[in-house]
Amino acid sequence: MFLRTLRLQNLRNLEPATFVPEARFTVLWGDNGQGKTNFLEAIYLVATLRSFRTTHLPNLVAWGAEEAHVAAEADRGGLERRYDVILRPGKKQVLLDGKTPQSLGEYFGGMNVVTFAPEDLRVLRGTPSGRRRFLDRAVFNRHVTFLEDAQRYAHVLRQRNTLLKQGGADAVLDVYDEQLAAHGERVDAARRRTLDELAPRFAAAFAAISRSGLAAAVRYDAPPRPPGSLLAELGAGRARDRLRRHTGVGPHTDDLVFSLDGRDARAFASQGQLRALVLAWKAAEMSLLVEVRGDAPLLLLDDVSSELDPLRNQYLFDLLHEIDCQCFVTTTHPRHVLVADNRKDYQVVNGTIRPFTN
């Protein structure tokens, strides 16, 4: 996977530009608030049609502009493709090689990204919903149809919850339950399959990164769901759901549990160990994608070095040297990026990205 060019117009505070990245390490540095993360967000947007910072895509359009446009040319296995995303108020236009794709599945899968941001380092002690999103990013990279299943599940869930608040009839709830169970079982199955693949890679990566002798593990905290069981759960819990006016069972209630030597990391891990766990998760995700897709995804590192102690920062870049991927790194100072070769630096000042040489 190789990103050849990235064209930006009216995206947040970034000045319009055509950007040609380095084959291995592209480093963008500057003070906070200058637009470094906006650049990574542009890559993530054109690859996933989402932002890793907000669910409201109109926020990405520059103040006073009518639309934002991000275009990328990428090469995968000798096949060159162009991806365009145009954001307007209330509308998102997507083009693949200049044409509207017939489905999301046609668009997705050609450009994979793994993102590592400071917010990820707080996920393990955060909310279950944050950990579900953390897992779902990996699932989406592994199974391109997952996003559509997850969106349909979320849509039906909102409809069911609205009906519960309105005291809707059982006959209508029966219809929603069947739809919710069908979409929910696919979401649940994709999460479990991906986690089964990631778990051994995660344990091995943690051992290499932490070098502490502690055994790391991760599990999906959810009840077993053989085919048909979710529909039965929804039916059995309907009276309770009516009282509480929301849906109390399903993949939207599940969690991801990280442990060290069998103890829940949320309660027992140090801050340094939590950071090592997140690093290991990202390393496992990269390893899995390399195996199943034949090449490495794009890696976006957003100011992570400022959140890591020097030893773990060194472990991170040792790991990156072993993975042949195109990496985009933001930082407040170039010396935090422990890379000497195959590197190109840019300084970001008030939305302008300037080539920088020492």
DSSP letters spanning 96-145: ETTB--SSHHHHTTSS-EEEE-GGGGGSTTS-HHHHHHHHHHHHHHH-TT
Mean pLDDT, rounded, for 1-19 = 95
Secondary structure class of 195 (helix, strand, coil): helix
Q: Which residue has the higher pLDDT, 305 or 222?
A: 222
CA distance 125 to 273: 12
Tell me if 114 sits within 8 A of 297, measured CB to CB: yes
Secondary structure class of 242 (helix, strand, coil): helix
Q: Which residue has the higher pLDDT, 308 or 248?
A: 248
Mean pLDDT, rounded, for 95-113 = 88
Both structure tokens of 323: 């993975």
Is the pLDDT confidence value at 49 over 80?
A: yes
CA distance 321 to 318: 5
Computed from CA positions of residues 337, 73, 145, 87, in that sequence, does the dihedral angle turn out positive or negative?
positive
Among residues of the chain, what percentage have pLDDT more than 90?
Answer: 77
Across the beta sheet with 68-76, what order do the strands follow? Answer: 17-19, 2-9, 68-76, 79-88, 91-96
Is the pLDDT confidence value at 105 over 80?
A: no
pLDDT digits (tens, 9 = 90+) for 125-173: 999 999 999 999 999 999 988 988 999 999 999 999 999 999 999 999 9
Instruction: Check residue 162 and report its DSSP letter.
Output: H
Mean pLDDT, rounded, for 221-228 = 94
Is the pLDDT confidence value at 358 over 70?
A: no
Q: Which residue has the higher pLDDT, 321 or 101?
A: 101
Q: Which residue has the higher pLDDT, 175 or 313?
A: 175
Both structure tokens of 117: 């941001």
Amino acid at residue number 32? N
Domains of the chain: 1-112+297-358 (3.40.50.300), 127-296 (1.20.1050.90)
Cα-based distances in Å from 161 to 172, 176, 248: 12, 10, 10
Q: Helix 310-322 to helix 170-210 angle, to the nearest 10 degrees?
A: 100
How buried is 301 (Cβ within 10 angstroms: 0-12 exposed, 13-18 middle, 19+ buried)? buried
Secondary structure element (H or E) that encloses residue 50, with its range: none
Cα-based distances in Å from 204 to 40, 141, 266, 287: 28, 21, 20, 11
Both structure tokens of 112: 């994979």
Band the pLDDT of 306: cuts 50, 70, 90.
confident
Mean pLDDT, rounded, for 223-237 = 95
Write down the pLDDT at residue 111. Answer: 87
Is the pLDDT confidence value at 356 over 90?
A: no
Residue whose entry in the numeric block shows the structure tokens 């069981």: 229
Mean pLDDT, rounded, for 317-338 = 89
Q: How many CB atoms lie within 10 A of CB 344?
A: 16
Is the pLDDT confidence value at 87 over 90?
A: yes
DSSP-assigned beta bridge partners for residue 181:
none
Tell me if 134 sits within 8 A of 320, measured CB to CB: no
Secondary structure class of 11 (helix, strand, coil): strand
Computed from CA positions of residues 157, 146, 200, 320, in that sequence, does the dihedral angle turn out positive or negative?
negative
Both structure tokens of 348: 């970001």
Q: Which residue has the higher pLDDT, 281 or 310?
A: 281
Question: Mean pLDDT for the chain?
Answer: 93
